Amino acid sequence: MTTQRKAHQKGPGEREDVVPEEKGPSRRRFIQWLAAAGAVIAPLPWVSFAEKERPAGGSPSTPSPQDGAQTTPRRQWVMVIDLRKCDGCVSIDTPPQCTEACIREHFVPEGQQWLQIYEQQTPGGGSFFQPTPCYQCENAPCVNVCPVGATYHNEDGIVLIDHLRCIGCRFCMAACPYQRRFFNWGDPNLPPEAAFASYSPEYPVPAKRGTVIKCMFCVHRLRLGRLPACSEGCPMRAIYMGDLNEDVATNGLEVVQLSTFLAENNAYRYKEELGTQPRVYYIPGHGQEFGRKAQDQRDLLPVTWDYGLLGSLGH
């Protein structure tokens, strides 16, 4: 191949076979060098990022060797939403209380509902209410596509956003199959007290213009051993918070063994078929524990963005 190309370029003349022997090896060496360099360089970023992103511990059955050295045991937070208990707050005639608690807790900018309730129709003609937080997917499409690593898994498996790094390309929003990400299109209209919060990816307040924001499972509360704002705000106590590692979950009233609770109650994950491995489980139902019928016609009441001056301090 090399000699053929040589002959082609060298043009006419019989003495050309001397020339390629001088030049050939150097080019060949160059290509070898290039291939070797490529082989060395190619895996580098993958290795370094793979370590950063993989939730430590991987799966509950394989704790990582450093676990013993950690001062705080690593969690694998999951949320369990018992739809038998969720009636969309129609029976108490209020807007969804989980959503409003979330809004007060994080000064969620107007128009965004990090935890939104959708009315889902069932093929049989009934409907149920489905509270939808960020699913904190293990195989998170948003984390996969982020060009700058601004959205990432923390060590407990929760998907966070670094709003100081986010460039606002919104690729993660296009990638999220649950549409659980929001963009601060303009300067968010927030009450003055929001400015007193000290920002961190774990408590992204105040929201920053030109960046993507979403539910982060109230990491700042979990750290203190408290339930997320939505779980505390739910009058029906339909939202359980649990840890796959310790196999336990609670809604503040009762403590359940997570694995049994999920298995016994036919728990499912939303859009399981996509392979995103969400960390939110649903127990099927339509609010029957609080008397809601599947064919109940009452609609959700619209959410208000009333931060209530001392809203977040009250908890």
Partner 1 sequence: MAPEVIERERLEATVLAPILRPSRLYDLGLILLGLITLWGVYAWSVQLRQGLVITGMRDQVPWGLYIGNLVFFIGISYGGTLVSAVLRVTKAEWRRPITRIAEAISVAALVVGGVQIVFDLGRPERFLNLFLYGRLQSPLIWDVVAISMYFVACVIYFALPLLPDVALLRDRLAGTVPAWQRWFYTFLAAQWTGTPEQRERLARAMNILAVLIIPLAVSVHTVLAWVFSMTLRPGWNSTAFGPYFVAGAVFSGIAAVVLAMGFFRRLFHLEEYLTAKHFRYVGYLLLTLNLVYIYFTFGEYLTMMYKLAGEEKELLQALFTGREAPLFWSFIFGGLIMPALLVALPWTRTILGIEVASVLVLAGMWLKRFLIVVPSLQVPLMPLEFGRYVPTWVEWSIMLGSVSAFLLLYGIIGRLFPLISIWEMVGEQETAPAEAAVQARRLMFPQPAFEGPRAVASGEE
Residues of this chain that bind partner 1 (CB under 8 A): 8-9, 11-13, 45-46, 49, 111-112, 118-121, 132, 141, 144-150, 165-171, 173-175, 177-179, 181-187, 209-212, 274
Residue 176 or residue 244: which is nearer to partner 1 going by CB? 176
> What minimum distance in Å lies between the beta carbon of 268 and partner 1?
16
CA dist., res. 255 & res. 248, Å (int): 7
| Closest CB 147 distance from partner 1, rounded Å | 4
CB of 236 to partner 1, least distance (A): 21
Collect all residues with Cβ–Cβ distance below 8 Å to 18 and sequence separation of at least 6. none
- Nearer residue to partner 1 within complex by CB, 222 or 303: 303
Task: Work out how close the CB of 225 gets to partner 1 at its nearest, in angstroms, rounded to a whole number.
Answer: 32
Residue type, 248: V
Q: Compare residues 112 and 251 and give the one whose CB is closer to partner 1.
A: 112
* C-beta closer to partner 1: residue 261 or 282: 282
Please report, in angstroms and rounded to a whole number, the separation of the first and last CA atoms in the chain.
Answer: 75
Integer Cα distance of 282 and 149 in angstroms: 30
**Hey, CA dihedral for 10, 13, 17, 23, is it positive or negative?**
negative
- CA neighbours closer than 13 Å in the CB half-sphere of residue 131: 36
Determine contact, residues 308/101, Cβ cutoff 8 Å: no
In the complex with partner 1, which residue's Cβ is closer, 109 or 311? Answer: 109
Least Cβ distance, residue 67 to partner 1 (angstroms): 27
Residue 79 amino acid letter: M
How many CB atoms within 10 Å of residue 185? 11
Task: Name which of 187 and 264 has its Cβ closer to partner 1.
Answer: 187
**Measured from the CB of residue 181, what is the shortest distance to partner 1 in angstroms?**
8
Q: How far apart are CA 187 and CA 296, in angstroms?
A: 39
Distances in Å between the Cα of 253 and the Cα atoms of 247, 250, 264 are: 17, 7, 19
